Amino acid sequence: MPHTHRLMAERPFNLEALPTDGKQFHPNRDEAETEFKALRKEFVQLQRQLYAEGKQKLLIVLQAMDAGGKDGTIRNILKGVNPQGVRVHSFKVPSKEELAHDFLWRIHKAVPAQGMIGVFNRSHYEDVLVVRVHDIVPEAVWRPRYEQINNFEKLLHDTGTRILKFYLHISKDEQKERFQSRLDEPEKNWKFSLEDLEKRKFWPHYMTAYEEMLQQCSTEWAPWYVVPANQKWYRNLTIMRTIVQTLRDMNPQYPEAEANLDQVVIE
């Protein structure tokens, strides 16, 4: 099941044809939420072991259209984990200093250290998405970045970082409903920006950019998962399934205790 939505390297696909509705994969919301909570409990334990072991690293990348659910995913997935062992980075518009360096400079500084889980809320992929759709840089600049990103992620993989990348796939109608909810509920007004509506006009251009990005950058060492995300409960479940299975495979262990601890007497 964790591989249900995994893209196979170099296998062509049509993003618009991939499902945004998760109910066809798991029609029972109550059962899905029960399974999710059980998996999250296991995740909390595995994360403790990963942190205590201090040898392996896990990087989780989240990309989506506006209102796609990145923040909600992070809140739900990370509930209960040891905050000492997790770092969440939200990559916004690059600063003047960041623009003075190569596009991966700010990213490389944020990758997880040994024993850590890193979560990217948006990522280096903005540099083949936003810059392309809005003509911020010419194609001669952004197109070579596919290979540069793949090489960067191969470096991370070869030096001990497991990489999971999730594209939260929502429909244009679902985005409309979520935007309306942000307008209708005063406590959500802060989430809404008129700029979101401007970006929405470029929906087909973003779909084209995402499709090529996913095609070019889903590799054996850093696969992309296109997660049907119209239903938040299914989104949470399928992402948690994948994370937990990956940590099971990593099999982190508590370090060996010092010798003769059974003889220690604390006075």
pLDDT tens string for the chain (267 positions)? 446 799 987 778 899 999 999 999 999 999 999 999 999 999 999 999 999 999 999 999 999 999 999 999 999 999 999 999 999 999 999 999 999 999 999 999 999 999 999 999 999 999 999 999 999 999 999 999 999 999 999 999 999 999 999 999 999 999 999 999 999 999 999 988 888 898 999 999 999 999 999 999 999 999 999 999 999 999 999 999 999 999 999 999 999 877 777 878 888
Read off the tokens for 43: 């995740």
Q: What was the pLDDT predicted at 4?
A: 77
Tokens standing for 34?
């029960």
Residue found by looking up tokens 């540099």 in the block: 127
pLDDT for residue 1: 43
SS3 content of the chain, % helix, strand, coil (to 5): 50, 10, 35
Architecture of domain 15-252: 3-Layer(aba) Sandwich (3.40)
| Strand ranges across the sheet with 224-228 | 86-90, 117-121, 57-64, 161-169, 224-228
Bridge partners for 169 per DSSP: 228
57, HSE (Cβ side, Cα atoms, 13 Å): 17
Give the model's pLDDT for residue 11: 75
Q: Which pLDDT score, from 0 to 100, does residue 2 have? A: 47
Q: Which of 166, 169, 167 is nearest to 20 (CA)?
A: 169
Record the pTM: 0.94
Question: How confident is the model at residue 3, as a pLDDT?
Answer: 64
